[in-house]
Amino acid sequence: MPGHTLFATTPKAMEQMLADELSSLGAENIKQTLAGVSFQGSLETAYRVCLWSRTANRVLLVLATFTVNSQDDLYQGVKKINWFDHMQPEDTLAVTFSAKNSKAIGNTHFGALKVKDAIVDQMRDKFQKRPSIDTERPKIRVNVYLQGDNAQLSLDLSGESLHKRGYRDITIKAPLKENLAAALLIRAGWPKIAAQNGTLLDPMCGSGTLLLEGAMMAADYAPGLLREHYGFLGWKRHDAAVWQKLLDEARQRKTAGLERLPLIVGFDQNRHSINAALTHSEKAGLSDKIHLERRDIADAQPAASWRPGLLICNPPYGERLGDEAQTAELYTQFGEVLKSHFSGWQAAMIISNPELGFRLGIRSQKPVTLYNGALECKLLRMSLEDSAFFIPKAKTREERINQITRAGQNPIDPGGAEMFANRLRKNLKKLGKWARQNHISCYRVYDADLPEYAVAVDLYQDVHGQIRINAQEYESPKTVDAQKADQRLAGVLLGIQNVFNIDSGSISLKIRRKQKNTRQYEKQGHQHSFHCVEEGGCKLLVNFEDYLDTGLFLDHRPLRLLLQRQAAGKRFLNLFAYTGSATVHAAVGGAKATTSVDLSKTYLDWAARNLALNESQGDHELIQADCLDWLKTEAGLTFPRQYELIFLDPPTFSNSKRMEDSFDIQNHHVELIENAVKLLTADGILYFSTNFRRFKMDTQALSGLTLTDISASTLPEDFARNPKIHYCWRIQA
């Protein structure tokens, strides 16, 4: 059979692993590109990749490439294919279309419609019948990728993404996709360790993804063997005999491999996680091959009879939990467990904050960069020998700063520290006058005006007239000496005390590290100390100790006041409501009814307290839900809720365990806005805001709406030095 041109997709940074895998599966002319690998091979090779690839997402059979300089070029290029070679006229069809740097077609939905029209029109012209659309499980799935003016038209042989092995209960969420878990195991050296009959242990196993992928790898168990459906099964040119031969071979290899499977063990302190792992191992036919046990990380140790092998896990990320001190303590404790009980083992873990790896007290090899969804992570790999152990500094960064301050040490650069204090005084004089004239009690005084002193300083005056300062240091570049950075920050704290004439107890210090693709306002502490401030006639509670943010985004002040002015007599919807400050403004402004939706019960309780504090009239509804799911459900109703005023301020990114999938604003904003608009009355207004600095509004996809960029008018005076702090649009149907 002649060779086919094929393309396999994979998550970014896994291209080399996929290329190696394709080579072992008989592929030829292998060429890597970003998030994918092109290759050539027979239909049997393509099937084998679908069945055996542990790292690919999709396998595409390329039908044609052609130039697209106009919409008609796309239509005609697709129509040139004889689709009767691939499908019956009455079959079902789905189209996936993506474009990059294309001047001809920027709207992916429109591009998909053009592709669909070309196929349907050809079939209808020839047979007076047309395929119907089925996005869930079509007979064939067509993929078009348009880069610049070059289009690649393919059949998706995989159907659903290949990371969906078939053993996962769809109601159970997991932080790792299966092909990423496989990549971690490969890079950690598990195939070689398994061949030597070494043990695999995940002491924080969650729903068991690493264990199952490790077991399947060690047992020569094809990762696609459990799947009930592939994209090629409904394809007219599908070779059932070849596919059956591959399935028979895979089943034989699995049977033989399970006989020599090494010990696979998983611990987790959460019984729900253990139950999920048990469910998945049973669905994979591995329930008698994987030992699962509820056990705390402090008690994770191997039995004397276990052969040393690989300990691998996906521990909590600092960003995901938000509680840096608690997470750091967990890593320190974990490091002690590794050093005490796992001598002679190999260890690997994926983390997003490299500083947490230092907490382990174990030297690692050069970290491997991988991506968990859009979140950049590092895979740490360690040989647990005595020579690899070291003692990390016991003090946290905040403790070191306070230690320096209490000791009265001078900053590393007294002249620079004085420059910082002088700039702070100058800003306070100017902004203090502006704040008093506009009755503003909470505002930003300094925002990295001097590059050497990269901090943000926010002043909060409560209803009793007491002043507190919330200081946030932007993480120093790695080129800056840590001791210099510590002493410089100590100088900042001393300068703040002198300029505002307050003691250190009135200053809250946060280290605002660059959080990649995650929400910034997660739990930091457990003080539960709230202070009442006033803004535009609204009383609002803020918290300086427990969260990275205080509960009140100061840059949104003009937008909240705008909502208050427009809310009278209207129904108001606050999506991703956070602590409900915008809801309070709408309520105080005379809103007839408000609805606030947020996934966090903590924030909704906070919002309820804010509303109660203002004794506002009207009907106020608080809904704990994933905003994406709630909005999609409401928008899909025949008679959806209707609001005259909607505020939509999503996070840049969220991978909360309680959400179905990870969310990022650039990829999801069109769907969000389209669904939100369906809840608007005919003359209603939607205000959409984002703090993502590289955000680009997809105006083509939203061409049916009136989009007005009001970012400049919503930028307050105290943030004028930072015009990209947020973007904002007024949107009407």
End-to-end CA distance of the chain: 55
Pairing of the two strands 455-461 and 467-474: antiparallel
Question: For residues 348 and 367, what is the distance between their CA atoms, to the nearest angstrom?
Answer: 10
**Contact partners, residue 514, CB within 8 Å, separation at least 6:** 474, 475
Q: What is the pLDDT of residues 161-201, one digit of tens each?
A: 999 999 998 888 778 999 999 999 999 999 999 999 999 99
Nearest to 332 by CA among 383, 395, 401: 395
| Mean pLDDT, rounded, for 218-242 | 97
Q: Is the pLDDT of residue 287 over 50?
A: yes
Q: Range with the lowest mean pLDDT among 124-128, 364-368, 661-665?
A: 661-665
Positive or negative CA dihedral for 291, 297, 299, 304? Answer: positive
Q: What is the pLDDT of residue 5?
A: 97
657 has a pLDDT exceeding 60: no
Measured at the CA of 691, the angle between CA 686 and CA 695, to 5 degrees, comes to 85
pLDDT recorded at residue 443: 97
Least Cα distance to 59 among 34, 39, 81 occurs for 39
604-617 mean pLDDT: 91
**pLDDT surpasses 90 at 23:** yes
Rounded Cα gap, residues 234 and 229, in angstroms = 9
3 has pLDDT over 90 = no
| Structure tokens given for 55 | 């790292």
458 pLDDT exceeds 90? yes
Closest CA to 675 of 688, 666, 662: 688
Quickly state the pLDDT bin for 1 (edges 50, 70, 90). very low
pLDDT (0 to 100) of residue 385: 81
Domain boundaries, the chain: 4-156, 178-222+259-388, 397-512, 530-732
Mean pLDDT of 712-728: 92
Q: Does the 530-732 domain belong in CATH 3.40.50.150?
A: yes
Helices (H) and strands (E) in the chain, counts: 20, 30
465 burial level (CB within 10 Å; 0-12, 13-18, 19+): exposed
Phi/psi of residue 265, nearest 5 degrees = -135, 140
Say if CB 192 and CB 309 are below 8 A apart.
Answer: no
Q: What is the structure's pLDDT at 331? A: 86
Question: Mean pLDDT throughout 394-403?
Answer: 55
Lowest mean pLDDT among 105-114, 309-318, 512-521, 588-597: 512-521
Tokens of 207: 């729903």
Which residue type occupies 607?
A
| pLDDT at residue 673, rounded to an integer | 96
| Mean pLDDT on 49-73 | 97
Q: At what angle do helices 178-187 and 15-24 cross, to 10 degrees?
A: 80
What pLDDT is stored for residue 553 in this prediction? 95
Query: Which CATH entry fits the domain spanning 178-222+259-388: 3.40.50.150, 3.60.150.10, 3.40.640.10, 3.30.565.10?
Result: 3.40.50.150
Tell me: the pLDDT tens digits for 45-59? Answer: 999 999 999 999 999
Contact assessment for residue 547 and residue 324, using Cβ atoms and an 8 Å cutoff: no
Find the Cα–Cα–Cα–Cα dihedral 219, 220, 221, 225, rounded to 10°: -170
Partner residues linked to 485 by β-bridges? none
pLDDT top residue among 398 and 417: 417
C-beta separation of 281 from 216 below 8 A:
no
Pick from 344-353, 448-457, 559-568, 592-601: least confident: 448-457
Contact of 376 with 352, CB cutoff 8 Å: yes
Helices (H), 501-615: 557-566, 581-588, 601-614
Does residue 663 register a pLDDT over 90?
Answer: no
Residue 605 has pLDDT above 60, yes or no: yes
Buried b (16+ CB within 10 A) or exposed e, 693-705: eeeebbeebbeeb
Whether residue 517 has pLDDT greater than 50: no
Determine the pLDDT at residue 403.
52
Average pLDDT value for residue range 100-123 = 93
Mean pLDDT of all residues in 641-648 = 97
User: Has residue 320 got a pLDDT over 70?
Assistant: no
CA 26/CA 39 separation, integer angstroms: 10
What is the mean pLDDT of the segment spanning 698-702? 93
Contacts of 383 (CB under 8 A, 6+ apart): 346, 347
The percent of residues in the chain predicted with pLDDT above 90, rounded, is 72
Contacts of 356 (CB under 8 A, 6+ apart): 318, 327, 328, 331
How much is the pLDDT for 655? Answer: 53
Average pLDDT, the chain: 89
- State how far the Cα of 262 lies from the Cα of 440, in Å rounded to an integer: 66
Contact 405, 422 (CB under 8 A): no
Residue 272 scores a pLDDT above 80 = yes
Query: Pick from 274, 265, 352, 273: which is nearest to 314 by CA?
Result: 352
Class of the 4-156 domain?
alpha beta
Q: Which of 183, 144, 146 is nearest to 162 (CA)?
A: 183
397-512, CATH topology level? Transcription Regulator spoIIAA (3.30.750)
Max avg pLDDT among 120-134, 470-484, 498-512: 120-134
Three-state SS annotation for 422-469: HHHHHHHHHHHHHHHHCCCCEEEEEECCCCCCCEEEEEEEECCCCEEE
pLDDT at 624 over 80: yes
Q: CA 568 to CA 592: how far, in whole Å?
A: 7
β-strands 200-202, 264-268: how paired? Answer: parallel
The three-state (H, E, C) secondary structure of 377-427, written as one string: EEEEEEECCHHHECCCCCCCHHHHHHHHHHCCCCCCCHHHHHHHHHHHHHH
What integer is the mean pLDDT of 417-425?
Answer: 88
Can you give the pLDDT at residue 527? Answer: 46
Weakest mean pLDDT among 99-103, 410-414, 498-502, 634-638: 410-414
Task: Please determine whether the domains at 178-222+259-388 and 530-732 fall in the same fold group of CATH.
Answer: yes
Distance CA 79, CA 26 (A): 32
Give the mean model confidence (pLDDT) for residues 652-657.
61
